[in-house]
């Protein structure tokens, strides 16, 4: 299990992760919408993102999930491994995983409500500027 | 300070004149007190025949501006009554403004579009639309209806005396209860939603609580709502004409 406040970039195939307790999930036309209740945001995932999100149950390492997906989709295990880890790191950077990323509850409410861009100085990228949005059907709303 | 539905509500005024007018006409006025300033009014001054606009802020956010005294007081009364209204379990409270169409239906406009909406307000009023200055709007997703409380009753307003002193204009809020079908929802977003899930994610932000949090069960009500009600994105990167979105025939 990822320890408290693990950096999202530390996530690898050995990591065992699960959704934060302050997230909820709804399904709309086969795609998942992850609701970050404490930050007041909702994120729509595409099919791939939805599939991976639904597999994050905190019981197995990401490598096991990669094995399953490589078998299921008969794809390159290495490529799938890179994509899955990138995706799960992105979830972590958004504060959607238990014990990963900034502790949103410790932030003042106005910071929680602000978008990443509003939090960052103009000349620096926002905290999620490196976020790979290939798996999001839409960017995080604010 | 006003006492509405058992809740104390602070209204802070920059000048006493209009504050006293409202206090005399509203039996909900509970005298001066130390309630937090839920509403703040900056009363516009006069320079000869020119008159500055009054500005109304609700919980620190600018809600409306008008040079008309009656319209300002209507905004205060409507905003305050909507602020203290407690939605029922069937209702969803949205951070949005209701715009009443000439046919009585209501277009819900994201509060994130306040600036754009105020820029076209006069033009849509000329077409028979009315913007109700609510801090939040309650709606019933399963019925597809907006539900607003009777603001006059909330303030225990001497309606006759109020109307004589501040006559209701054609585009003014009559402050009555409203239960009307939702004609559409216009919401702000950074890019056009790529899927219905993305649309729900964008719309979900409208259901944020006053503390800035979001409840999954509230977001889960949007698919049902958008099954019956068209939701139209206003994409900031390629903004359409808001007036067309608000006044479109649906």
Query: How far, in Å, CA of A8 to CA of A92, rounded?
Result: 5
Interchain pair A137, B197: CB under 8 A: yes
Q: What is the pLDDT of residue B92?
A: 94
**A-chain residue closest to B198, CA distance:** A44
Q: pLDDT > 90: what percent of chain B?
A: 72
A31 chain-B contacts, CB cut-off 8 A: 195-197
B244: Cα separation from own chain's centroid: 20
- Poorest-pLDDT segment among A62-71, B81-90, B106-115, B145-154: B81-90
Q: What is the pLDDT of residue B236?
A: 87
Mutation choice for A interface testing from B95, B196, B197, B227 by most A CBs within 10 A: B197
Interchain pair A138, B216: CB under 8 A: no
Mean of pLDDT values over B44-59: 87
ipTM of model: 0.84
Q: How confident is the model at residue B47 (pLDDT cuts 50, 70, 90)?
A: confident
A36 chain-B contacts, CB cut-off 8 A: 214
Mean of pLDDT values over A53-79: 93
Bridge partners, B50 (sequence order)? B47
A135 chain-B contacts, CB cut-off 8 A: none
Rounded-to-10 torsion of CA A53, A55, A59, A60:
-110
Interchain pair B191, A26: CB under 8 A: no
Q: What is the pLDDT of residue B210?
A: 81
Which pLDDT tens digit goes with each residue over B98-145? 999 999 999 999 999 999 999 999 999 999 999 999 988 999 999 999
Mean pLDDT computed over every residue of chain B: 91
Mean of pLDDT values over A74-101: 92
**CA dist B248 to A46, B98, B206, B244, Å?**
31, 15, 21, 6
Q: Are strands B106-110 and B178-189 parallel, antiparallel or unpaired?
A: parallel
For residue A105, give every residue at least 6 positions away whose Cβ sits within 8 Å of its Cβ, in sequence order, or none.
Answer: A22, A38
Mean of pLDDT values over B67-80: 94
Distance from the Cα of B165 to chain A's closest Cα (Å) equals: 41
Among B153, B155, B148, which Cα is nearest to B131's? B148
pLDDT of B1 > 80? The answer is yes
Distance from the Cα of B21 to chain A's closest Cα (Å) equals: 35
Q: What is the pLDDT of residue B116?
A: 93
B190 chain-A contacts, CB cut-off 8 A: 139, 141-142
Mean of pLDDT values over B43-47: 86
Q: What is the pLDDT of residue A102?
A: 60
Mean of pLDDT values over B189-206: 94
Whether the CB-CB separation of A140 and A112 falls below 8 Å is answered with: no
* Cα A24-B181-B152 angle, rounded to 5 deg: 100
């Amino acid at each position: 299990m990822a320890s408290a406040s693990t950096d999202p970039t530390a996530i690898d195939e050995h990591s065992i992760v699960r959704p934060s307790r302050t997230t909820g999930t709804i399904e709309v036309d086969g795609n998942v919408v992850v609701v970050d209740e404490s930050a007041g945001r909702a994120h729509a995932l595409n099919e791939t993102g939805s599939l991976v999100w639904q597999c994050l149950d905190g019981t197995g390492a990401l490598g096991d999930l990669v094995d399953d997906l490589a078998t299921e989709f008969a794809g390159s295990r290495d490529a799938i491994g890179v994509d899955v880890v990138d995706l799960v790191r992105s979830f972590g950077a958004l504060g959607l995983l238990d014990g990963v990323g900034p502790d949103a509850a410790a932030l003042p409410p106005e910071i929680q409500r602000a978008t990443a861009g509003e939090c960052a100085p103009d000349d620096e990228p926002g905290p999620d500027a490196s976020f790979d949005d290939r798996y999001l059907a839409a960017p995080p709303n604010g | 300070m006003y006492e509405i539905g058992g809740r104390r509500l602070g209204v802070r005024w920059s000048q006493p004149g209009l504050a006293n007018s409202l206090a005399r006409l509203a039996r909900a006025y509970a005298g001066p007190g130390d309630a937090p300033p839920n509403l703040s009014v900056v009363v516009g001054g006069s320079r000869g025949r020119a008159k500055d606009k009054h500005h109304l802020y609700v919980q620190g956010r600018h809600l409306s501006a008008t040079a008309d005294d009656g319209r300002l007081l209507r905004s205060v009364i409507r905003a305050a009554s909507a602020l203290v209204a407690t939605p029922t379990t069937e209702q969803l409270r949205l951070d949005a403004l209701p715009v009443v169409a000439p046919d009585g239906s209501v277009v819900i406009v994201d509060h994130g579009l306040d600036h754009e909406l105020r820029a076209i307000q006069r033009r849509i009023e000329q077409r028979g639309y009315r913007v109700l200055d609510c801090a939040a709007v309650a709606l019933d997703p399963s019925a597809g209806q907006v539900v607003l409380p009777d603001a006059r009753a909330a303030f225990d307003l001497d309606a006759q005396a109020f109307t004589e002193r501040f006559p209701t204009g054609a585009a003014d809020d009559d402050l009555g209860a409203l239960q009307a079908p939702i004609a559409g929802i216009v919401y702000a977003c950074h890019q056009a939603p790529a899927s219905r899930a993305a649309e729900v994610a964008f719309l979900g932000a409208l259901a944020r609580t006053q503390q800035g949090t979001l409840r999954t069960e509230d977001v889960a009500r949007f698919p049902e709502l958008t099954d019956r009600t068209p939701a139209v994105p206003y994409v900031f990167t390629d903004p359409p004409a808001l007036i067309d979105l608000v006044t479109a025939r649906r």
